[in-house]
Structures are given as C-alpha cells and as structure tokens.
Amino acid sequence: MKTSLQRILCIGGGPAGLYFAALMKQRQPSLEVTVVERNRPFDTFGWGVVLSDQTLGNLRRADPVTAQEIGDAFNHWDDIEVFYKGRSVRSGGHGFCGIGRKRLLNILQARCQALGVNLVFETDVTDDQALAAQYQADLVIASDGLNSRIRTRYASTFEPDIDTRQCRFVWLGTKKTFDAFTFAFVQTEHGWFQAHAYKFDADTSTFIVETPEHVWQAHGLDQMSQEDGIAFCEKLFAPYLDGHRLISNAAHLRGSAIWIRFPRVICKTWVHQQEIAGRRTPIVLMGDAAHTAHFSIGSGTKLALEDAIDLADEFERHPEADVATVLQAYEARRSVEVLKIQNAARNSTEWFEHVDRYTGMEIEQFAYSLLTRSQRISHENLRLRDAKWLGDYENWLAQRAGTAPARHPTPPMLLPLQVRGVALKNRIVVSPMAQYKAADGVVGDWHLMHLGARAAGGAALVMVEMTSPTPEGRITPGCPGLWNDAQEAAFRRIVDFAHANGDGAKIGIQLGHSGPKGSTQLGWDAIDEPLPAGNWPLLSASAVPYGPQNQVPRAMTRADMDATTAAFVAATRRAAAAGFDWLELHCAHGYLLSAFICPLTNQRSDDYGGSLENRCRYPLEVFAAMRAVWPADKPFSVRISAHDWAPGGNTPDDAVAIARLFKAAGCDVIDVSSGQTTRAARPVYGRMYQTPFADRIRNEVDILTMAVGAISEADHANSIVAAGRADLCAVARPHLANPAWTLHEAAKLQTRAVTWPAPYLSGRDQLYREIARQQAVREEEEAAK
C-alpha cells in the first residue's frame, strides 16, 4: 500500500487507535505513526470483552499475526444459558470469544512496538491541535473514547447525539468461570435485575449487573458505598456464583459512581478538517468517540476494531486518491454498517430496559425473545445454530396453538389462530393495499382478481384496502366506498369468491375516512397531492392541512361528527351483510380518525382536544358504535400510527395508552403501523422497523397485535410470531409481486424439512406447493451460482 500520508497521529490508545496504527504501519512501513495515551500501558478499568466468530474472521484477514495472538488468548464458547424463574434454557452454536481487556490492549501494544509504531503513554492531551503540530501529522485519529474531548471541541462539525439510556449497570468480575454466555434474571420487590456473565480467561469471568434506574434507586443503591453495592449484588446472584465473590477494578471511583447509565453516541459526521500549522489536517473520529453500541450485543471493541480495518482497507483500495476522498468513502460505507449495528443495539437495549414487559412469558418463549431481541438473529439463523433446540421450541409453540407435536414441527407463521369465532389457518395477512381501480366507489373485476388471487395464495386473511363510508371520505376518486347497494353487492361477489376458492382463507375490510388527506390524485400520478380539478371539501379534527399544498379542511362540528359516525355504522352493517369475516377501523396515517388522535393535527379546545384521552374520544365513539352492530362472533381490529416520527407528535408511550383505550372498548387486535400523520415525519426505516411497536403493545397491553412494515420473508414472520412480538404479520408489497407469497415462502421452508399443517393439504394447494417448491429450488440454485 502507498498513500500520500507521511505521518499519522492517533490520540487515544484503546483498541481503535492501537489497531489502526498497527494496520497502517504494517501496510506502509515508511509511515510515521504515533499513538498517544493518557494511561500507563497496563491500566484498564474493564474486565473481559466479547467478539463474535465473524469479527475474529475479520481480524484474521486484516492482520493474521495479531489475530493469531488474540485467538490464542481467547476463551471460546458456543452456548447461551438463560436462568429465569427457577428454570434454565440452554442453546448452542452461537460462537463467541472472550478476552481480558487488559490482555487485548497488551497484544495490540506489543504488535505496534514490533512494527515500529511510536507509543507515548501517560500523556493527557488537552490540545489536539498543538499535539498534531508537534508531530506534523497529516491525519489525526480521534480515538479518545466515550468522553472524547476532540468530539466535544468540534461538536459543531460532528453534531453528536448522546442518549443516556434508562438502566444502571456495573461492570464487575468474578472467579466463578461460566461455561456458557450466561443471562440470569432475578425478581425483587421493586423490579428485575439481570446479569450478563462470561468467562474471558482461565479463571475469571465478566459479571455485568443491570437494572432500570427506578429499581436501582428503590433499593437505595444510589446511596450505598461501592463495597455495599457489590455485596448487594453478590447476595442477589448468589445462586449463580457458587460462593465466589464479585470484584471491582474501579478503585478510582467512589460510592455509587461505579453504576453508570449507558450513553448511546451517534455523530452526524466523523471527519473534521482543521487548519493546523498552515496545513489542512483531517481529524477523524473512531471507536467510542464516533459511536457506541450497547454491551448487550457485544462490546464497542468490535466496532472499534472494525472501524480500524475499514479505514485501513479504504486507503489500500484507493492508493492514488487524495486523503479527503478516502475519508469520504470510508465514512459513507462504514457509517451504514455502524447504523445497522446501532439499530440492532437499540432494540437489544430496550429489551433489557423493559424485561418486565416479557415476564408473563414462560421461559421457553422468554429465552427465544431474548436471543432474537436485536432482530439481527432470525428464526432460520437459530436453526443453523442449534436445530434440535429450535425444533423443540417449535413443537412447544405448536402445542400451545393446538397443533400436535411432529418430527418436523410446523413453522410459527403457519400455526393457526382463533380470534373470536374466526379460525385463521396461519398468521399471514395480506395487508390492505390501495388499488385506485374503483368506479364511483364500486369495486370490479380488478378487485376480484387482486383479492381473489391472494385469497387462493395461502394467506389466512386478505384485507380490502381502506374503504370509505361516504363519497367525500375517499382518498382519491379511484378508492372504494361502502355507502350504497351497488357497492355492497360488488363486495359480496368478491367475498363469496374468496370463501369458495380460498381454501379456508378469510376476508376482511378496512373502513376509514380520508379526512385532511382526501381529494388527492391517484397514487401513481402524484400521491397525497390535490386533484388538478374537481376537489371536494374536506373534514378534519381541526383546520390543519396535511401540507401547504393540500386543502385546508373544515374542523368538524358536532353535527359533522354525528353524521360521520352514522355513516360508519351504516357501512359496518353493509360489510356484515356482504359476508366479511373481519372488520378493521383505520385510525392511522393522518386520515380523519388519526387526525383526532395526533396532537400535531388536533388543535381543538373542546372535549375532543388537548389530552390524549380527549383526542381519542371521537375515534372511540365511532369504534363503539361500529362494534355494537358488527357481529359479536367476528373480530374487529384497529390500525393505529404508533409513532408520528415528528417533534411534538405521538410516541410509542402514547401508542400503548391508545391501545389500552381501544382494548377497553372491545377491540380484538391492534394493527400497528406508524408515521404518515404529517409531512414532517422522519421515520427510521429498516427491516421489520415497526415490529418493536407491535411487540411493546402486545406485551404491555396484553392484546393481540398485527405487525406490519418491511416484513418480506418467512424468516421475518417466523421470528416475529415465535418471539411473541406480534400474533399476525401483515405483508403488503411481496404479495403484490406474488399473490401466492405465503405458499411460496412455505415451500422454501419445506425444503428445510418442516411440516405443512392440514389446511395446506388440498389437491390444489399440493399443486401450488409443488410449483412454489420448484421455484424455490431454482432460486437457491441461482443463488449458489
């Protein structure tokens, strides 16, 4: 490797700074590389750190010599064991390595010295610019840790976002050596504590104790000395310590200061350009200075080492490029990978912050939920790790769903579900999808084809797109309605077809009023944009338009509310007469009832505005009136926006309260979506990105939930159902591409020797299954090429 660099300065001698220094010096020996560290060579204030087998593989590729030394010092294990409510569950194949933090740093220090890196210890850097000038640095690596002074100094460039999390944790050690990565959960009179424990050398283990802030304070740990706090933990976790003591190596801290709250660090950018000694010098954040990821998905050491690898690789990939171009490419590529890990870490962090959310589960599901908490480990990934354990768990789930155990258990997404008097043959729902093909609100042959094909495609429930109870409640002129006999008759035709040809599939209808988002163009013309001509008047909670280009709606009067409620009731009667099996009320996405619930669109000063309870009052009135006329043996769900993704909007906390109100009113299922309530919304997208909201509502409110949003594989659905994050999975876009998506995904599972339940054994389904199986085999063969 040859770059234009001559001198590199790394400020901070943790894993990031040391490893980057070693890699760059190894690849270009002519470089002058200096690492400056404030502590002595053998100082450290942690215990063991954890790296995955995958990370160790990255180390082997980057520097085999260092990787060999680290590998020789590692303690490797495959098992995870969970202790909970007097029982334990153990699964294997997880592949972790533990090493003492001090040992790791010493290996990296020795490697740097062997390569000729200049290591400077016991130097507290208060002025990075002066130090960079002293060493004539062409590149400064700010690897000065979590409390980075350099990040603070250039905060206007880096724009750090630091979120201090809800739990307190203390990082201890013990001479009890655990033969698995161990999670132990202990309930006290004030709440739950959990321990994360793993062996990292021949006779020592890390033992992290964690608990929510309010539980920590309720036990008086905030007032205890360091010694008393450790003694408290020893007593609490005595059953798992076998008489061994817990040890602290943080003698520099006093009292409860050893208990900290994890700071999640995100920086908008990682590179700052600074004029130093007459030259423009880049200063690059690395490791904890740039980002943190909660210890529950591994240590920040993984991120730090992989940062170093990626930046060194970027210089090697672009030897002729100027430094600024290399750094730009590094940040663009690496920031995406870090964001993925931080998103997973957020899910994992929240799981441990709210252990009490899952304590109604039996240990079998509790352990599965823990293992898949980040959403990075999926159902089939667990099968690769420990097929026997997962098969036993699938049978456990099947027994609770009323399905007999089998040698090859039924996948969770294909388990039946009973909701009131309706028996769903599996957990897959074809999500409501706007077709823009209705004429004067009347559905036709297109809808018969669209809905009928998907009813025959293996899903348990097919939902009709949002259907308005009034002409002015449509979103577009092409949207369906249910306010007259012709519309009812057209729907009855589709319902009858679905029942006759769907092999047990059920069909439901989603009723909703567009409110401030009505009178817009067809989706493929200009979604959410007003009609060029012929716009109709709009109603809403308040005179707040969806956007500056949209009409200003009229705030509903009492008379408007009564008339609209009556229209919903009439449409509900028609839906029942048409034979629908399932009814859903749309209270999401900024439409009329959502506009009442969302504080950004509800500015009323009467009984229907202000508090969350008041804002939900009218949607609950509509729901209650509809429930009263909808058949008692048929399910009724409500779709909500669980997060407005905008300042001042509803949050997931509010969603829990909203769900409780609808449950009390008689709702059977909460269909959990998010966003689209305001043009200011800035969602954080990703696979299954809305599922954590469904998880929270299901397990805090104790109500069935339907997850929706970026669920595109059977593996996603199986993970969601098996973990108890939701009871149903609504799948939209994949069903547009393939009406038989459920059969196709199930066929892929069949190639892995799982069992199809009885509803899939009809003659026609056998044909579909064989077609889908052959397609799945072709896809796998193509992927293998």
Which residues does the annotation mark as catalytic? 591
The set of residues, in sequence order, having a beta carbon less than 8 Å from that of 166 and lying 6+ positions away, is: 212, 213, 261, 353
Q: At what angle do helices 763-784 and 741-750 cross, to 10 degrees?
A: 70
The set of residues, in sequence order, having a beta carbon less than 8 Å from that of 731 and lying 6+ positions away, is: 428, 429, 430, 431, 459, 711, 712, 717, 741, 742
| Residue 34: Cβ within 10 Å count | 19
What does the block give as tokens for 656?
A: 């829990």
Q: Of 626, 596, 595, 623, which is closest to residue 608 (Cα–Cα)?
A: 596
Q: Of 585, 592, 578, which is closest to residue 513 (Cα–Cα)?
A: 592
CA 577 to chain CA centroid, Å, is 40
CA 150 to chain CA centroid, Å, is 31
Cα Rg, the chain, nearest whole Å: 29
Q: What whole-number distance in Å separates Cα of residue 357 and Cα of residue 372? A: 15
Residue with tokens 């609950």: 620
- Secondary structure of 503-562 in HEC code, one letter for each residue: CCCEEEEEECCCHHHCCECCHHHHCCCECCCCCCCCEECCCCCCCCCCCCCEECCHHHHH
Strand partners, 34: 9, 118
Strand partners, 429: 461, 730
Q: What whole-number distance in Å separates Cα of residue 527 and Cα of residue 522? A: 6
| Residue 62: Cβ within 10 Å count | 21
DSSP reduced 3-state for 642? coil
- Rounded to the nearest 5 percent, the helix, strand and coil shares of the chain are 45, 20, 35
CA distances, 658 to each of 207, 339, 525 (Å)? 39, 30, 34
CA 317 to chain CA centroid, Å, is 33
What does the block give as tokens for 571?
A: 């449409």
| Residue 24: Cβ within 10 Å count | 26
